[in-house]
Amino acid sequence: MKKQFTIQNPFGLQPSPVRHITHMAKAYPLRVSLEIEGKRYDAKSLVQLLSAEAKFGDIVTVSAEEGAAAAEVVDAIGSLLTKVGPSGPAG
């Protein structure tokens, strides 16, 4: 399962939204990755995602290995990537 999303946060993938993405990915027993500019990053790794230095407007492909929750995790991470505010969801 994979889908493309465009980063809408004007600050790109900063530590706070990345922390929310990794937390979301770790909640699922699936291999989840983000592909940015042809490079693949483990969605469960804070360090890997921060090293991507993804910016506003970058297109991100979110992939999850096939499983019952693949579409759910891809859509959940996609909603974080397309969130306009400066950080992830409250909580």
> What is the model's pTM?
0.88
pLDDT band at 86 (very low <50, low <70, confident <90, very high): low
35-64 per-position pLDDT tens digit:
999 999 999 999 999 999 999 999 999 999
Domain positions in the chain? 2-81
Dig out the tokens for 26 from the structure: 């770790």
Give domain 2-81's CATH architecture.
2-Layer Sandwich (3.30)
- Judged against a pLDDT cut of 70, whether residue 90 lies above it is answered with no
